[in-house]
Amino acid sequence: MKRYGLALTMLAILCSTTMAQNLKAGQVRPDDWQAYKSRFIDERGRVIDDANGNISHSEGQGYGLLLSYLANNKADFDLIWSFTRTEFLLRDDGLAVWKWDPNSKPHVTDSNNASDGDILIAYALALAGSGWNRNDLAATARTMVGAIGKANVIEQQGRLLLLPAVTGFSERDREDGPLVNLSYWIFEAFPKFASVDNTTDWTRLSKDGLSLIEAARGGQRSLPADWLSAKTTLRPAKGFKPEFGYNALRIPLYMMRAGIADAGQLRPLRQGMSPDGTGVAIVDIPSGSVTETLHDPGYLIIPALIDCVLDKKKLPASVTSFRPTLYYPSTLHLLSLSFIYSQHSECL
């Protein structure tokens, strides 16, 4: 059974390679993009996390770039990129600093990176570089991809791991290190990365990530925790809540966007995060108890997507129209809708 699942996974990765490379601009609707950017992106191209003290981070800039590419809006892409390049792409190793705070001076006080932010930025640059024939963007993407692999991908116990950041999570930095965050595996980016960089085995990183997700599922609800120690067998990391939280809930979205439609992986996640489909649960893994139930359509659309992909169920009307709420769920919402529009319009 397990082998079979693995075989399916491999097949899915092969599929996703073609799919990702075909990812075309124009999958986010102009009106939705307009609504999103007028709410979360300022006139300087800064993507604002309005639930987090209006800070910005490399993840947000990466989402902004990706969504503007998907909206086929070159002007907004250049706007966000100009800000991202001058304010975030500062690190000696070629990666982005992770946090920009409007209320501190200088705005960047911590030079650490966040590998998901780097992946999103590099991925969006690579898409725009090839999709819009922009050599400058493609060149920067290549440099960044190389830097991500060099600084954040490590081999440990025969598998490739993605460190959440250069500093603070490795075996050297923590007693229970290395730590991983499985929602930092943005699967759709890896085939693209593999096409521009061969110093890191991105295909293997992707495959090992899927195995980790499977192995990480635990507790009554069979869900993975946001932050995991990969020192021995995967277990919730010390100092973090042992919960399936805001991070991990995007894992199935990233899988599906990458064309991974493995029921063996997706169905447990679907069941665990939203048994009845009316809310998305933040779950304390050890006890299986629900600490919070989320109702923002940006979250609710994720289990609905799984239903669509696995069972061809139509999306409930409550999640098919986009209205900006907060930065994070609204971002997930647009990523979900763009996936539906391009791959599963039958569920609309």
Partner 1 sequence: MKKSLLIVPVIAVFAGVVAVQSDYVPAFATVINSGSLAMPGSSEPEADTGIDDQYDVAQSGRAPKTRTTTPASPAPDAAVAPKVDETALRYFARQGDKRRLEAEIARLRALYPGWTPPADPSAVAPETDTALDAMWKLYAAGKLPELRKAIQLRLTSEPQWKPPADLMDRVELAESREQLINASDLKQYETVIRIGSSHSSLLTCSDVDLLWRVAEAFARTNRTSRAKDAYGYILDNCPKPEERLATVQKALPLLTRPDLEALLAKEKTTQDGAREFDTIRNDLARKAVADAGTDPKLIVPPTDLERVEKLANDIVEPSDPLILGWYYLRHDDHANAEKWFKLSHERENAPSSSQGMALAMIAQSRPAEAEQTIYEWRDSSDGAKAVYMAAVANLLAQDPPVDIAPAVLQRMVPEVVEAKDANAAQQFGWYAFLLNQFETAAGWFSTALQWKPDDEPSSYGLVLAREQLGDMAGVAEIQRLWSGKSERIGRLGELRQARERGLVPSPERFGTRDPDALLPATQPTDGPAAAATPPQTDPAVAANSLADRVAATIARTSVTRPEELQSQTAPLQTAPAPSRVRPSRQMKASGQRLPAGCTTTLDPQTISPESALNRGWCLMDINRPLEAAAAFERGLLSRSDAARSDAAYGQSLAYLRVGLADKAAVAASKARQQQSRQIELDIALLSSRATDAFTAGRYNEALLALDQRARIAPERNDLMVLRGYAYMNLNRLADAQRVFEAVAATGSKDGLRGMATVRAIRNKEY
Question: How many Cα neighbours within 13 Å face the side chain of 302?
Answer: 31
Residues contacting 60, CB < 8 A, separation 6+: 40, 47, 48, 49, 117, 327, 331
Neighbours of 97 (CB within 10 A): 21
Q: Which is nearer to partner 1, 28 or 79 (CB)?
A: 79
Query: Is residue 304 within 8 Å of 320, Cβ to Cβ?
Result: no
Nearer to partner 1, 51 or 90 (CB): 90
Query: Of residues 32, 49, 76, 116, which has the active-site annotation?
Result: 116
In the set 32, 49, 59, 188, the catalytic residue is: 59
Nearest distance, CB of residue 196 and partner 1, angstroms: 20
CB of 144 to partner 1, least distance (A): 13
Angstrom distance (rounded) from CA 260 to CA 335: 15
Q: Which two tokens stand for residue 241?
A: 């809540």
Q: How far is the CB of 234 from partner 1 (least distance, A)?
A: 34
| Residue 175 appears among annotated catalytic residues | no
- Closest approach, Cβ 91 to partner 1, in A, equals 6
Rounded CA-CA distance 20/286 in Å is 36
Rank residues 74 and 313 by Cβ distance to partner 1 and give the closer one: 74
CB 129 within 8 A of CB 138: yes
In the annotation, is 116 catalytic?
yes
* Smallest distance, partner 1 to C-beta of residue 165, A: 15
Other residues' Cβ atoms within 10 Å of the Cβ of residue 103: 8
Alpha-carbon distances, residue 114 vs 89, 134, 153, 247 (angstroms): 12, 25, 12, 13
| Closer Cβ to partner 1, 100 or 202, answer by number | 100
Do the Cβ atoms of 308 and 347 come closer than 8 Å? yes
- What is the contact surface with partner 1 in residues (CB under 8 A)? 43-45, 74-83, 85-87, 89-93, 97, 106, 108, 111
In the complex with partner 1, the residue whose CB is nearer, 80 or 210, is: 80
What's the angle, vertex CA 274, arms to CA 272 and CA 277, rounded to 5? Answer: 150
Active site residues per annotation: 59, 116
